[in-house]
Amino acid sequence: MKKRKLSFKKILLFLLILIIVLLFTLLIVYKSEISEVSSDTSPKTFIVKQGDNYFSLGERLKENNLIKSEAFYKLYLKLNKPDSSTLTSGAYELNEAMSVPEIIKILSDKSNQTDSLTKVTFREGLNIRQMAKIVARKTGISEKEFLNKVSDENFIKTLQNKYWFLTDDIFNDEIYYPLEGYLFPDTYNFDTQNLTAEDIITKMLDNTNSKLTPYKDQLQNGDKNIHQILTLASLIELEAVTDEDRALVSGVFNNRLKNDWSLGSDVTTYYASKKNLSEVLTKDELNACNGYNTRCTSMKGLPVGPIDNPSLSSIKAALNPTPSQYYYFVADTNKKVYFTKNANEHSAIIKKLKDEGKWAA
């Protein structure tokens, strides 16, 4: 009988220890999950909308990488019960180095609101995925929300009634984002109060309209349609820096197109693989045949659509290529572009650049 009692006590003690260990572990996990996402203190504009409460903010905070876990964020709210009456709509400046308690503290004080007018700069040559990251950081509209809107076919079809340059070419099934190439890179002022992804897209397209309208006749009546011109311009944007080089690059691409050559442009391979130019491409990615990768030997024409949003300089170069006998070009580490007429000359330039430590591959 004593042995049974002793065994029972041991079981109870074991269970008690187990419960304590589990509670301690849960406490450690809880504290970790409500701590800061990273040490990055770069400011992110976060918008509290009319009718929001602390619980409804969870999804957007997670999408903007301001909290680690939506579930633990909501658990914190349940345990601490912040007063929703302290939450006021407006723009707030948060960052990834803030813990959940710090975020709630910032959002609960109206005096922490920032000016709702935000300046957002999209430099030339950014693709839509890169733009979405800037939108999320500067306006509080998540990458997901922005990317969904620029891919919304019904929304885009309504835009065709307003913008003459949005043709049916943008609805090719192989195109990643129909509006890629059409969102003009520039500096914009957005009022973040009640701002939507639709507002941002419309404002950018208004700017595209004003920039392209002076060239409307040339864009609509040239040997290439507007979609092809913007596609060509997007390649030129990433291949050259100066106006002179861009016009010469445009001429090289035109020579290749006229003679049924592959364009062989590495920048299209990066876009096809959804990688940035600083990343490494695998052999499979380099050789992949799809609507974008012009390194694929069976692909003779332009990519299916633009790979970034080009500057007016690159658009002009696409419209007015410099005639030449060049079929090759390569840029060095200083972004100087070398043009050659044949493969032997091209190989010689590459060898020279490698010998001089200027090879940018």
Alpha helices in 120-272 (DSSP H): 128-139, 143-150, 153-160, 197-212, 216-221, 226-239, 243-258, 266-272
Q: What is the pLDDT of residue 347?
A: 93
3-state secondary structure of 330: strand
- Residue positions counted in the chain: 361
Structure-block tokens of residue 101: 């308690």
CA distances from 88 to 43, 56, 129, 286, 291 (A): 20, 13, 31, 51, 47
With a CB cutoff of 8 Å and minimum separation 6, the contacts of 352 are none
Structure-block tokens of residue 103: 């975020």
pTM: 0.80
Closest listed residue to residue 263, CA positions, set 311, 285, 241, 231: 231
| C-alpha–C-alpha distance, residues 322 and 317, integer Å | 8
Q: How many CA atoms lie within 13 A of 19 on its CB side?
A: 6
With a CB cutoff of 8 Å and minimum separation 6, the contacts of 40 are 95, 96, 97
Q: What is the pLDDT of residue 249?
A: 97
**CA dihedral sign, ordered 77, 80, 85, 89:** negative
| Distance, C-alpha 55 to centroid of its chain | 28
Segments of the chain with pLDDT less than 50 = none
CA distances from 173 to 144, 151, 168, 176, 305 (A): 20, 11, 11, 8, 11
Q: What is the pLDDT of residue 219?
A: 95
Q: What is the pLDDT of residue 1?
A: 55
Opening angle at CA 100, ends 94 and 106, nearest 5: 45
| C-alpha–C-alpha distance, residues 179 and 306, integer Å | 9
Q: What is the pLDDT of residue 319?
A: 97
Closest listed residue to residue 66, CA positions, set 131, 119, 136, 15: 136
Q: What is the pLDDT of residue 89?
A: 87
Q: What is the pLDDT of residue 6?
A: 57
At 102, which amino acid appears? E
Euclidean distance between the first and the last CA atom of the chain, given in angstroms as a whole number: 81
Structure-block tokens of residue 243: 């106006």
Question: What is the homologous superfamily of the domain 44-114 according to CATH?
Answer: Endolytic murein transglycosylase (3.30.1490.480)
Other C-beta atoms closer than 10 Å to the C-beta of 106 total 16
With a CB cutoff of 8 Å and minimum separation 6, the contacts of 59 are 70
DSSP string, 100-158: HHHHHHHHT-GGGEE-SEEEEE--TT--HHHHHHHHHHHHS--HHHHHHHHT-HHHHHH
Reported as a single tens digit per residue, the pLDDT across 191-203 is 887 889 999 999 9
Q: What is the pLDDT of residue 194?
A: 80
Q: What is the pLDDT of residue 3?
A: 57
Reported as a single tens digit per residue, the pLDDT across 144-186 is 999 999 999 999 999 999 999 999 999 999 999 999 999 999 9
Q: What is the pLDDT of residue 251?
A: 97
| C-alpha–C-alpha distance, residues 359 and 210, integer Å | 39
| C-alpha–C-alpha distance, residues 350 and 361, integer Å | 10
| Whether the Cβ atoms of residue 201 and residue 149 lie closer than 8 Å to each other | yes
Other C-beta atoms closer than 10 Å to the C-beta of 167 total 13
**CA dihedral sign, ordered 235, 238, 244, 248:** negative
